[in-house]
Homo-oligomer: A and B are copies of this chain.
Protein backbone atom coordinates (compact mmCIF):
# COMPACT_ATOMS: atom_id res chain seq x y z
CA UNK A 1 0.00 0.00 0.00
CA UNK A 2 1.26 3.46 -0.94
CA UNK A 3 0.71 6.46 1.31
CA UNK A 4 1.70 10.10 1.14
CA UNK A 5 2.54 12.00 4.30
CA UNK A 6 3.30 15.64 5.16
CA UNK A 7 4.78 16.82 8.44
CA UNK A 8 4.34 20.55 8.70
CA UNK A 9 6.91 22.18 10.96
CA UNK A 10 7.67 25.71 12.00
CA UNK A 11 10.48 26.22 9.51
CA UNK A 12 9.94 23.51 6.89
CA UNK A 13 7.59 20.79 5.69
CA UNK A 14 8.73 17.20 5.26
CA UNK A 15 7.01 15.08 2.64
CA UNK A 16 7.34 11.38 2.08
CA UNK A 17 5.98 8.45 0.13
CA UNK A 18 5.62 5.24 2.13
CA UNK A 19 5.09 1.83 0.59
CA UNK A 20 3.97 -0.95 2.92
CA UNK A 21 5.13 1.03 5.96
CA UNK A 22 8.59 1.80 4.59
CA UNK A 23 9.72 5.26 3.48
CA UNK A 24 10.52 5.18 -0.22
CA UNK A 25 11.15 8.80 -1.09
CA UNK A 26 11.13 12.06 0.81
CA UNK A 27 11.51 15.75 0.26
CA UNK A 28 11.90 18.86 2.37
CA UNK A 29 10.34 22.22 1.59
CA UNK A 30 11.61 25.34 3.32
CA UNK A 31 8.85 27.52 4.71
CA UNK A 32 10.84 30.57 5.75
CA UNK A 33 8.62 33.59 5.24
CA UNK A 34 5.43 31.54 4.85
CA UNK A 35 2.38 33.63 5.71
CA UNK A 36 -0.30 31.19 6.70
CA UNK A 37 -1.08 27.69 5.46
CA UNK A 38 -3.56 28.43 2.67
CA UNK A 39 -1.01 30.01 0.28
CA UNK A 40 1.21 26.94 0.72
CA UNK A 41 -1.39 24.36 -0.21
CA UNK A 42 -1.00 24.46 -4.03
CA UNK A 43 2.77 23.97 -3.85
CA UNK A 44 2.35 21.22 -1.26
CA UNK A 45 -0.07 19.38 -3.55
CA UNK A 46 2.26 19.81 -6.49
CA UNK A 47 5.28 18.56 -4.52
CA UNK A 48 3.36 15.53 -3.26
CA UNK A 49 2.31 14.66 -6.80
CA UNK A 50 5.91 14.99 -8.03
CA UNK A 51 7.20 12.87 -5.15
CA UNK A 52 4.86 10.03 -6.08
CA UNK A 53 5.45 10.42 -9.81
CA UNK A 54 9.20 10.33 -9.28
CA UNK A 55 8.78 6.80 -7.93
CA UNK A 56 6.43 5.81 -10.72
CA UNK A 57 3.44 5.83 -8.38
CA UNK A 58 0.25 7.51 -9.50
CA UNK A 59 -1.86 9.40 -6.97
CA UNK A 60 -4.70 6.97 -7.66
CA UNK A 61 -2.39 4.18 -6.48
CA UNK A 62 -2.05 5.90 -3.05
CA UNK A 63 -4.45 5.09 -0.22
CA UNK A 64 -4.42 8.50 1.43
CA UNK A 65 -2.56 11.47 2.80
CA UNK A 66 -1.39 11.66 6.42
CA UNK A 67 -0.99 15.25 7.54
CA UNK A 68 0.89 16.27 10.68
CA UNK A 69 0.16 19.73 12.04
CA UNK A 70 1.96 21.71 14.78
CA UNK A 71 -1.08 22.73 16.80
CA UNK A 72 -4.29 21.47 18.35
CA UNK A 73 -6.24 19.23 16.00
CA UNK A 74 -9.44 17.23 16.08
CA UNK A 75 -8.18 14.04 14.47
CA UNK A 76 -11.69 12.58 14.27
CA UNK A 77 -13.20 15.44 12.27
CA UNK A 78 -9.92 16.28 10.53
CA UNK A 79 -9.90 19.94 11.60
CA UNK A 80 -7.25 22.21 13.04
CA UNK A 81 -8.60 23.67 16.29
CA UNK A 82 -5.97 26.21 17.26
CA UNK A 83 -2.37 27.17 16.71
CA UNK A 84 0.10 29.13 18.73
CA UNK A 85 1.80 31.58 16.36
CA UNK A 86 2.38 30.10 12.87
CA UNK A 87 -0.38 28.99 10.45
CA UNK A 88 -3.07 30.87 12.32
CA UNK A 89 -5.34 30.60 9.28
CA UNK A 90 -5.37 26.80 9.48
CA UNK A 91 -8.43 26.43 11.69
CA UNK A 92 -10.57 27.95 8.94
CA UNK A 93 -9.33 25.54 6.26
CA UNK A 94 -11.04 22.34 5.22
CA UNK A 95 -7.93 20.26 4.67
CA UNK A 96 -9.88 17.09 3.95
CA UNK A 97 -11.65 18.81 1.08
CA UNK A 98 -8.38 20.26 -0.19
CA UNK A 99 -6.81 16.78 -0.18
CA UNK A 100 -9.71 15.21 -2.05
CA UNK A 101 -10.01 18.04 -4.57
CA UNK A 102 -6.33 18.55 -5.30
CA UNK A 103 -4.96 15.01 -4.88
CA UNK A 104 -8.01 12.77 -4.92
CA UNK A 105 -6.90 11.36 -1.56
CA UNK A 106 -8.67 10.98 1.80
CA UNK A 107 -6.82 12.87 4.53
CA UNK A 108 -6.08 11.95 8.11
CA UNK A 109 -4.90 14.81 10.28
CA UNK A 110 -2.88 14.45 13.45
CA UNK A 111 -0.97 16.67 15.84
CA UNK A 112 2.73 16.50 14.99
CA UNK A 113 3.87 15.41 18.47
CA UNK A 114 1.26 12.67 18.60
CA UNK A 115 2.40 11.54 15.15
CA UNK A 116 6.03 11.45 16.33
CA UNK A 117 5.07 9.25 19.28
CA UNK A 118 3.14 6.91 16.97
CA UNK A 119 6.20 6.73 14.71
CA UNK A 120 8.64 5.96 17.52
CA UNK A 121 6.26 3.29 18.79
CA UNK A 122 5.85 1.72 15.36
CA UNK A 123 9.46 1.80 14.26
CA UNK A 124 11.66 3.50 16.86
CA UNK A 125 12.57 3.81 20.53
CA UNK A 126 9.10 3.06 21.94
CA UNK A 127 8.56 -0.30 20.25
CA UNK A 128 6.89 -2.66 22.70
CA UNK A 129 5.69 0.02 25.11
CA UNK A 130 2.03 0.90 25.68
CA UNK A 131 2.58 3.74 28.16
CA UNK A 132 4.76 6.39 26.63
CA UNK A 133 5.31 10.10 27.00
CA UNK A 134 7.21 12.05 24.38
CA UNK A 135 8.72 15.49 24.85
CA UNK A 136 10.09 17.25 21.78
CA UNK A 137 12.57 20.04 22.40
CA UNK A 138 12.84 22.40 19.43
CA UNK A 139 11.51 25.75 18.27
CA UNK A 140 8.88 25.18 20.94
CA UNK A 141 8.35 22.22 23.25
CA UNK A 142 5.90 19.57 22.12
CA UNK A 143 4.37 16.72 24.03
CA UNK A 144 2.22 13.68 23.55
CA UNK A 145 1.09 10.83 25.75
CA UNK A 146 -0.01 7.27 25.15
CA UNK A 147 -1.73 5.37 27.96
CA UNK A 148 -2.58 1.69 27.68
CA UNK A 149 -1.70 1.66 23.99
CA UNK A 150 -4.03 4.56 23.10
CA UNK A 151 -3.09 8.16 22.40
CA UNK A 152 -4.50 10.42 25.09
CA UNK A 153 -6.82 12.96 23.46
CA UNK A 154 -9.21 14.39 26.00
CA UNK A 155 -12.60 16.01 25.68
CA UNK A 156 -11.38 18.96 23.59
CA UNK A 157 -8.52 17.09 21.84
CA UNK A 158 -5.79 18.84 23.81
CA UNK A 159 -4.83 16.29 26.47
CA UNK A 160 -1.20 15.22 26.28
CA UNK A 161 -0.08 17.77 23.72
CA UNK A 162 0.45 20.78 25.99
CA UNK A 163 3.67 19.50 27.56
CA UNK A 164 5.41 22.68 26.47
CA UNK A 165 2.82 24.67 28.37
CA UNK A 166 3.17 23.08 31.77
CA UNK A 167 3.97 25.99 34.11
CA UNK A 168 7.39 25.21 35.60
CA UNK A 169 8.01 28.71 36.94
CA UNK A 170 4.98 30.17 38.67
CA UNK A 171 6.38 33.72 38.57
CA UNK A 172 7.96 33.15 35.16
CA UNK A 173 7.96 34.60 31.68
CA UNK A 174 4.86 35.27 29.62
CA UNK A 175 4.24 32.61 26.99
CA UNK A 176 2.78 33.21 23.55
CA UNK A 177 -0.13 30.94 24.59
CA UNK A 178 -1.19 33.37 27.32
CA UNK A 179 0.35 31.34 30.12
CA UNK A 180 2.96 32.28 32.69
CA UNK A 181 6.21 30.35 33.10
CA UNK A 182 5.35 27.69 30.51
CA UNK A 183 8.24 25.31 29.85
CA UNK A 184 8.65 26.54 26.30
CA UNK A 185 8.60 30.21 27.35
CA UNK A 186 11.50 29.43 29.70
CA UNK A 187 13.63 27.07 27.60
CA UNK A 188 12.99 26.59 23.89
CA UNK A 189 14.66 27.87 20.76
CA UNK A 190 12.08 30.62 20.29
CA UNK A 191 12.56 31.82 23.86
CA UNK A 192 16.36 31.61 23.76
CA UNK A 193 17.07 34.89 21.97
CA UNK A 194 14.98 36.84 24.45
CA UNK A 195 16.45 34.95 27.39
CA UNK A 196 20.00 35.61 26.19
CA UNK A 197 19.32 39.28 25.58
CA UNK A 198 18.21 39.84 29.16
CA UNK A 199 20.91 37.66 30.76
CA UNK A 200 23.32 39.57 33.01
CA UNK A 201 26.72 39.81 31.31
CA UNK A 202 25.49 38.44 27.98
CA UNK A 203 27.31 41.14 26.04
CA UNK A 204 30.61 39.60 27.17
CA UNK A 205 29.60 36.06 26.09
CA UNK A 206 30.98 34.54 22.88
CA UNK A 207 27.33 33.95 21.98
CA UNK A 208 26.83 37.68 21.60
CA UNK A 209 29.40 37.65 18.79
CA UNK A 210 27.55 35.17 16.60
CA UNK A 211 26.13 36.50 13.33
CA UNK A 212 22.62 35.30 14.21
CA UNK A 213 20.73 34.68 17.44
CA UNK A 214 22.11 31.53 19.07
CA UNK A 215 20.25 28.24 19.02
CA UNK A 216 20.85 25.44 21.52
CA UNK A 217 23.61 23.87 19.39
CA UNK A 218 25.48 27.17 19.63
CA UNK A 219 24.76 27.35 23.35
CA UNK A 220 26.02 23.83 24.10
CA UNK A 221 29.14 24.48 22.02
CA UNK A 222 29.92 27.71 23.86
CA UNK A 223 29.24 26.03 27.22
CA UNK A 224 31.62 23.19 26.33
CA UNK A 225 34.26 25.83 25.69
CA UNK A 226 33.71 27.29 29.14
CA UNK A 227 31.64 30.35 28.27
CA UNK A 228 30.21 31.37 31.63
CA UNK A 229 26.88 32.76 30.42
CA UNK A 230 26.37 29.77 28.13
CA UNK A 231 26.98 27.44 31.08
CA UNK A 232 24.45 29.30 33.19
CA UNK A 233 21.74 29.32 30.53
CA UNK A 234 22.48 25.69 29.65
CA UNK A 235 22.09 24.57 33.27
CA UNK A 236 18.92 26.58 33.70
CA UNK A 237 17.45 25.09 30.51
CA UNK A 238 18.35 21.57 31.58
CA UNK A 239 16.70 22.12 34.97
CA UNK A 240 13.55 23.33 33.20
CA UNK A 241 13.48 20.34 30.85
CA UNK A 242 14.03 18.08 33.86
CA UNK A 243 11.10 19.66 35.69
CA UNK A 244 8.94 19.35 32.57
CA UNK A 245 9.90 15.69 32.25
CA UNK A 246 8.88 15.10 35.88
CA UNK A 247 5.59 16.94 35.31
CA UNK A 248 4.77 14.73 32.32
CA UNK A 249 5.74 11.56 34.21
CA UNK A 250 3.66 12.58 37.22
CA UNK A 251 0.74 13.42 34.94
CA UNK A 252 0.67 10.31 32.74
CA UNK A 253 2.46 7.50 34.60
CA UNK A 254 4.46 6.12 31.64
CA UNK A 255 7.05 3.35 31.39
CA UNK A 256 9.23 5.33 29.05
CA UNK A 257 9.88 9.00 28.31
CA UNK A 258 11.13 9.76 24.81
CA UNK A 259 13.05 12.91 24.00
CA UNK A 260 12.94 14.25 20.46
CA UNK A 261 13.09 17.49 18.52
CA UNK A 262 15.91 19.51 17.04
CA UNK A 263 17.63 20.20 20.37
CA UNK A 264 18.29 16.45 20.60
CA UNK A 265 20.82 16.97 17.85
CA UNK A 266 22.92 17.71 20.96
CA UNK A 267 21.68 14.57 22.73
CA UNK A 268 24.97 14.03 24.57
CA UNK A 269 24.47 17.32 26.39
CA UNK A 270 20.82 16.67 27.19
CA UNK A 271 19.94 13.01 27.63
CA UNK A 272 22.17 12.05 30.60
CA UNK A 273 21.12 15.15 32.54
CA UNK A 274 17.40 14.53 32.04
CA UNK A 275 17.86 10.85 32.89
CA UNK A 276 19.57 11.75 36.13
CA UNK A 277 17.00 14.40 37.01
CA UNK A 278 14.11 11.99 36.42
CA UNK A 279 15.72 9.18 38.38
CA UNK A 280 16.42 11.52 41.30
CA UNK A 281 13.22 13.52 41.35
CA UNK A 282 10.27 11.68 39.77
CA UNK A 283 8.11 9.90 42.33
CA UNK A 284 7.73 6.45 40.80
CA UNK A 285 7.71 3.93 43.64
CA UNK A 286 7.09 1.08 41.15
CA UNK A 287 10.57 1.52 39.58
CA UNK A 288 12.33 3.80 37.13
CA UNK A 289 10.98 5.46 34.03
CA UNK A 290 13.23 4.79 31.06
CA UNK A 291 14.42 8.02 29.49
CA UNK A 292 15.42 7.52 25.87
CA UNK A 293 16.28 9.57 22.84
CA UNK A 294 13.93 9.02 19.94
CA UNK A 295 15.51 6.89 17.21
CA UNK A 296 13.82 8.34 14.17
CA UNK A 297 14.78 11.98 14.55
CA UNK A 298 13.01 14.29 12.14
CA UNK A 299 11.23 11.42 10.45
CA UNK A 300 9.39 10.16 13.55
CA UNK A 301 6.22 12.03 12.67
CA UNK A 302 6.37 10.84 9.05
CA UNK A 303 6.51 7.24 10.26
CA UNK A 304 3.62 7.89 12.62
CA UNK A 305 1.51 9.51 9.93
CA UNK A 306 2.02 6.43 7.80
CA UNK A 307 0.32 4.35 10.53
CA UNK A 308 -2.90 6.36 10.29
CA UNK A 309 -4.19 4.26 7.41
CA UNK A 310 -4.23 0.73 8.81
Contact = CB atoms under 8 A, between A and B. Distances in A.
Interface of A: 72, 81-82, 84, 130-131, 147-148, 152-160, 162, 165-171, 177-181, 186, 239-240, 242-244, 246-247, 250-255, 280-286
A113 to B, nearest CB: 13
Given A166-B247, A243-B180, A155 B285 contact: no
B239 A280 contact: no
Number of copies: 2
B169 A166 contact: no
Contacts of A82: 283, 285
Given A167-B246, A243-B181, A158 B255 contact: no
A56 B171 CA distance: 56
Nearest to A253: B154
Nearest to A252: B159
B239 A171 contact: yes
A180 B242 CA distance: 10
27 contacts: A81-B285, A81-B286, A82-B285, A131-B155, A153-B253, A154-B252, A154-B253, A155-B253, A155-B255, A156-B253, A158-B283, A166-B247, A166-B250, A167-B243, A167-B247, A169-B170, A170-B186, A178-B281, A178-B282, A178-B283, A179-B246, A179-B281, A179-B282, A180-B243, A181-B243, A247-B247, A247-B251
Q: What are the 6 tightest A-B residue pairs by CB atom distance, in nearest-first order?
A: A154-B253, A82-B285, A170-B243, A159-B253, A162-B250, A167-B243
